[in-house]
Amino acid sequence: MTYSIAVAGATGYAGGELLRLLLAHPQFEIGVLTANSNAGDRLGAHHPHLIPLADRVLADTTARNLAGHDVIALALPHGASGAIAAELEQLSPDSILVDLGADHRLTSADAWAAYYGGEWAGAWTYGMPELMLGQQERQRDALRAAKRIAVPGCNVTAVTFALAPGIAAGVIDPTDLVAVLANGVSGAGKAPKAHLLASEILGAASPYGVGGVHRHIPEIEQNLGHVASAPVRISFTPTLVPMSRGILATCTAKLTGTVPASDIREAWSRAYADEPFVRLLPEGVWPSTAMTLGANTALVQVAVDERAGRLVAIAAIDNLVKGTAGAAVQSLNLALGMPETLGLSTIGVAP
């Protein structure tokens, strides 16, 4: 059986990556593609690498153009999905909607108001199948047959995978977490901005969202809160580095001292033993973003800094695949009753 899927925001990085994955998926048929300012263009003018779709003409992003497909993917800027999703509830109530933006991720209206502003659109089923809700329970059960799916933030994905097993096992203190990330510039979107010019980013690394203001903070705390015995508090600092894709999240946390250092690694080993896309690397092997390029994988490593009394957990992902479009496809596979891994690869591209 095949499922028709429309993609709104097809000219952006997230929309383009989703289309790349959908072209390799045996059970999706790509339908209407839409854009805002680029409506009327051919897709190839914006994504020349998507050769099978290069001659598709982009329609306006309206609910009427998107309606009627089995699946509708919203790869729109933050704050833009809520209104069109509300229209689609009326025009296409039987469609599965998947939001690759932030509009439906947060379960707290107060958190939305504090970090995004504007009207909260409500929470949808969270699109991270591996999310720990307990020692055994995972989010994938909630995604089976879901009709409204909110894809996680890319930074959130990396930090969650790095820290959740230790919090669930009680070996690290959830009130004393620090995460510093190296981020590829595609995570900032495709809109032309001065600080993303090659002349600005090449040969430079620059922090942003410093001092507890980054919009992914409440989502990280929301995720880790599922398994925490105390309120989650994290100091989170992302840094733009001169690469197009990838996130390397270096996270540290205070050890609780309840588990011997020699046994701490076991918490991550147990958590990811059966996960098809999250891998704890062999001891002494550290993640690199290059290992994940183009793949729906999250690679994790942990170590104990005994002198500092802290755990170090590092995770690497491709922000456009496992951090965005891959998570969407993985969640849709579950929602439609298909194998979770269908159309997704753990094979990266190197060099």
Instruction: Kindly list the structural domains of the chain, giving each domain's residue range(s) and its CATH number in brackets, ordered by start.
Output: 3-153+322-335 (3.40.50.720), 155-319 (3.30.360.10)
Which residues, in sequence order, are CB contacts of 76 under 8 Å at separation 6+? 8, 9, 61, 84, 99, 100, 101
Catalytic one of 111, 154, 169, 234: 154
* Residue 189: band (very low, low, confident or very high) from pLDDT cuts 50, 70, 90: confident
154 is catalytic: yes
pTM for the structure as a whole:
0.97
Q: How far apart are CA 171 and CA 190, in angstroms?
A: 40
pLDDT tens, residue by residue, 196-242: 888 888 999 999 999 999 999 999 999 999 999 999 999 999 999 99
Q: Pick the closest to residue 131 from 255, 275, 326 (CA basis).
A: 275
pLDDT at 351: 87
- Segment 37-45 long-range contacts (CB within 8 Å, at least 24 positions apart): 38/11, 41/11, 43/10, 43/11, 43/19
Q: Pick the closest to residue 62 from 33, 23, 21, 31 (CA basis).
A: 33
pLDDT tens, residue by residue, 36-59: 999 999 999 999 999 999 999 999
What is the share, in percent, of the chain residues with pLDDT greater than 70?
100
Compute the radius of gyration of the chain from its Cα atoms: 20
